[in-house]
Structure 1
Amino acid sequence: MIRFGYGTNGFANHRLTDALDIIAGLGYSGVALTLDHHHLDPFAPGLARRVAEVADRLRTLGLAVVIETGARYLLDPRRKHAPTLLDDDRAERVGFLRRAVAVGADLGAEAVSFWSGVRPARVPPAAAWERLVAGCAQVLEHAGGMPLGFEPEPGMLVDTIAGWRRLRKALGEPEGFGLTLDIGHCRCNEPDPVPDCVTAVAGHVVNVQIDDMRRGTHEHLEFGEGEIDFPPVLRALSDSGYRGLVAVELPRHSHAAPDVAARSLAFLRRAEEASRRLVRTGAGEGRVPTTEGGGA
């Protein structure tokens, strides 16, 4: 049975404790926790105490956790996502990622996820690549046993699975440098069908984000609003041997978070049931209906 989670970046208008309560109450198995100003700010006073309180709450609720590091304005209030591993002041990003690893370890997280960032126009491609490799190596040095999930992100320096493979090779193919696979990004940016993308990276995936999307458009959509046929995708995930969290990634839906989270889980559970019928019948079941709690 797939372990579905929900991302706290889709609960941006909730206190973290309230978001965790709602996510657990709906029946999710875990949470993708984006460290941010309002959700376990890693730079605010009393971090150790606050991490311990969140760890206790996660245990009480029975929620597994992965750490996400894509907060928009956590490091710089004027530059979205900056500084990244590609910027002149990239040491600040490295320091943040190391801190995220430490927080993840204290929470018992299954993985810490991060990405490359957008190449600044003033930085030549070769220099940006060197900065990225060096930054990832620095984070790896401090990861200990924490799995790192690097996410190819549309519009960033590393935006495809092929780019992740190149980066992993440049780092010497370290054991702890895994892949965060966003199912929507596969539809948006990858040349192969989404289930084939899942199968191609089996054994390397340490974190999965799930959302609907359309080819060529980087917009995280509710299930049923995009172009992805989810039962074959979930079948591929199950067959791949992946047992980590599959967390809903809808960062622009905080205005209706409880309702969206409820619809999303209902949809995914129907899709998972349909994926089992794919095995029993040997034939596709088509798209999961978006009525009765699914879709928009």
Structure 2
Amino acid sequence: MVDLAFSTNAYTRHALPEAIDRIADHGYAGVEILGDKPHAYFPNFDDADEGDLIAALDDTELQISNVNANTATGYYDDAPPSSFFDPSVITADDDDREWRIEYTKRAIDLASITSAPAVCLATGRPLPGTPPERAHEYLRDSLDSILDYAEDRGVSVGIEYEPELLVECTEEVLALIDDVGRDSLGINLDVGHAAVYGEDPAEAIRQSAGHITGVHLEDIVGGVRGKHYHRIPGEGDLDFRAIFDALDDIGYDGFATLELYTYPDRPDEAAREAYEELSAYC
């Protein structure tokens, strides 16, 4: 049976403990922690912040579905939209790439301390001057270090594929998992990313059976090959009955996390409406 969670990345105008309290008020069983500014940007996330997080989890009895380490916008004083993933685990500069590896390890630490099952990680974009073949070498080397660290702490790492990133579809992430050959590496499957790439999300779920560390949910206007803009379920064209049937078919019993960062001005409304739309499927 799938449990619903909600990501704090919709609550970027609220402190992390308040975001958790609000998410609990809407009936969710889990919460995804944004591993970035303004919630858990790890260079600034100290023992006091960790204590506040644990207290909020204890008060609400929410479980953490995932630590979302896809972006590191806190790295920039004024993050440009095109640089949300940089520095990434495929960045050519050795120091910047190592910074991102260590950042991901801090996300794994938080997952371990809070009993979260997984951390999600985006590959980033292969920037000019870094051909895909070299980028894949950087990715493999980065994952070797990250997975060694994660395995020692009992945490899985889910690659979240996305159009225009180095790993951008189900076929490519499954090929990466097969190439790496480690059980700790899986997929944080975002149904909207599958759809805008041109895949059937339900079929992507079935193809990924046995490898899914977590699921991100949002609606997409236009369905397959629609516009990549996260909508509240029911406001787009995705077939959530088919998506939840596919999760049931493969025996997935983890969290499905609503990722509605596009609603920072009305996160409570987004959380409430999404829960009302999807709770019948769980």
User: What TM-score does the superposition give when structure 2 sets the normalisation length?
Assistant: 0.90
Q: Distance in 1 between matches of 2:41 and 2:126?
A: 26
CA distance in 2, matches of 1:246, 1:72: 23
Provide the residue aligned with 2:50 in structure 1: 51
Q: Aligned to 1:253, what secondary structure does the other structure show?
A: coil
Would the aligned equivalents of 2:35 and 2:68 in 1 still touch at CA under 8 Å? yes
The equivalences for 1:30-49 within 5 A come to 30-44=30-44, 47-49=46-48
Within the alignment, does 1:221 sit opposite 2:225 as a pair? Answer: no
Alignment match, 1:63: 62
Structure 2 unmatched ranges of 5 or more: none
Instruction: Using the TM superposition, name which of 123-132 and 217-226 deviates more.
Output: 217-226
- Is 2:180 the counterpart of 1:181? no
Asked if the contact 1:84–1:117 (Cα under 8 Å) also holds between the matched residues in 2, the reply is yes
Native 8 Å contact 2:41 2:72 kept in 1: no
Please list the CA deviations of residues 18-72 of structure 1 after superposition, one character each: whole Å capped at 9, or x if unmatched.
Answer: 1111100110000111122321332126x23322331232132111111001335
Aligned to 2:176: 167
Instruction: Supply the distance in 1 between the matched residues of 2:156 and 2:112 (Cα, whole angstroms).
Output: 10
1:87-109 Cα deviation digits (max 9, x unpaired)? 11211110100111011111111
**Partner-residue secondary structure (3-state), 2:75:** coil
Give TM-score scaled by structure 1 length.
0.86
CA distance in 1, matches of 2:148, 2:72: 25
Task: Tell me the secondary structure at the aligned position of residue 206 of structure 2.
Answer: helix
Matched, 1:85 2:89: yes
Q: How big is each residue's C-alpha offset from its partner over 1:65-87, in whole Å with a ceiling of 9 and x where there is no partner?
A: 11001335122334432101121
Contact (CA 8 Å) 2:17, 2:52: kept in 1 or not?
no
For the Cα contact (< 8 Å) 1:30–1:245, is it kept in 2? yes
CA contact (8 A) 1:51 1:106 kept: no
Residue 12 of structure 1 aligns with an amino acid whose one-letter code is: T
Q: Which residue does the alignment assign to 1:263?
A: 273
- Which shifted more, 26-35 or 72-81? 72-81
Gaps of 5+ in 1: 274-296
Do 2:188 and 2:215's aligned partners in 1 also have CA atoms closer than 8 Å? yes
* Larger RCO (alpha carbons 8 Å, 6+ apart): 2
Matches of 1:37 and 1:165 in 2, distance apart? Answer: 30
Query: What CA deviation, in whole Å up to 9, does each residue of 1:168-201 have, x standing for no partner?
Result: 1221x1011011001111211143x222211111
Name 1:283's counterpart in structure 2.
none
Q: CA offsets, 1:218-255, max 9 Å, x none?
A: 22122122221111111111222111110101111111
